[in-house]
């Protein structure tokens, strides 16, 4: 029988919940809530906390893609070995404090937030857990290794580092499709996406937490433009763009999301 997943003891899940709540606060323009959540992130996931170390172990497995079987197996083994070396009582205490903070300062319903890669987070949690039975662990590791070695599915499932060749191809296709040079804000977005592997995506997420609300505000203001207000079709399309921006908190940061933001950045520039 497979062990039940306790999401409140899954550091990666707690982190994803907080980041999505931060994005929601930014989109809604709630500055007080935004500042409060940023403080929570900094206090709990700074380098010397066990939560930060634990999160790194989850990411080592979850963000590894398109490697050979041997490499995937070694990464899981090393991550699990380091996980076992963590002071579990101290980690439990830090998780308990964080859960209490989320309940009191964010929302008790935050734990029901939709997380796209929830199944993968649960799988790694069970692989790491010392009470998972041997047979179950082997099957779970096999499942995770398949995901880590799969070439076709990786981009839509999890954010992963991309190399310069992928970056150039991505930018090239964008330029070819839209026949325009990149704006400064688009270059900033792409540069942060390229280097997201070096800091677990924190700088990229911080950038998006500022950029998405800015775009939302500009697009929302455009609804009052006479040329849009008088055209029902343009109004409808503008509202669709707003809906895309509203749902960014529920999406994984991948090529598709970055591409959507790039297009909206171009749109906002045209509106100015």
CB of 94 closer than 8 Å to CB of 54? no
Q: What is the pLDDT of residue 171?
A: 52
Q: What is the pLDDT of residue 253?
A: 80
Question: Residue ranges per domain, the chain?
Answer: 7-154, 164-271
Q: What is the DSSP letter of 252?
A: -
Q: Please give the model's pTM, rounded to 2 decimal places.
A: 0.59
- Separation between Cα atoms, residue 59 and residue 16, nearest integer Å: 11
In whole angstroms, what separates CA 64 from the centre of its chain?
15
* 66-118: pLDDT as tens digits: 899 999 999 999 999 999 999 999 999 999 999 999 999 999 999 988 787 88
* 156-172: pLDDT as tens digits: 444 444 455 555 555 55
């Amino acid at each position: 029988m497979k062990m039940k997943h306790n999401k409140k003891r899954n550091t990666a899940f707690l982190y994803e919940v907080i980041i999505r709540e931060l994005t929601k606060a930014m989109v809604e323009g709630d500055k007080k809530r935004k500042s409060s959540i940023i403080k929570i992130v900094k206090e709990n996931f700074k380098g010397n906390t066990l939560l930060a170390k634990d999160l790194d172990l989850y990411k080592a497995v979850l963000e590894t893609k398109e490697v050979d079987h041997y490499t995937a197996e070694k990464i899981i083994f090393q991550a699990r070995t380091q996980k076992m070396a963590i002071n579990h009582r101290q980690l439990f205490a830090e998780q308990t404090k964080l859960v209490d903070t989320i309940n009191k300062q964010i929302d008790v319903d935050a734990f029901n937030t939709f997380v796209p890669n929830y199944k993968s987070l649960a799988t790694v949690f069970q692989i790491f857990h010392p009470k998972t039975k041997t047979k179950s662990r082997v099957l779970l590791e096999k499942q995770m290794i398949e995901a880590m070695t799969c070439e076709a599915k990786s981009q839509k499932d999890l954010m992963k580092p991309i190399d310069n060749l992928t970056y150039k191809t991505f930018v090239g296709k964008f330029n070819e499709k839209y026949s325009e040079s990149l704006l400064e804000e688009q270059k900033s977005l792409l540069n942060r996406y390229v280097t997201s592997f070096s800091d677990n995506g924190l700088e990229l997420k911080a950038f998006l937490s500022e950029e998405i609300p800015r775009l939302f505000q500009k697009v929302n203001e455009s609804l009052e433009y006479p040329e849009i207000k008088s055209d029902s079709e343009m109004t409808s399309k503008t509202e669709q763009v707003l809906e895309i921006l509203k749902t960014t908190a529920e999406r994984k940061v991948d090529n598709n999301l970055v591409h959507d933001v790039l297009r909206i950045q171009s749109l906002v520039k045209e509106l100015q």
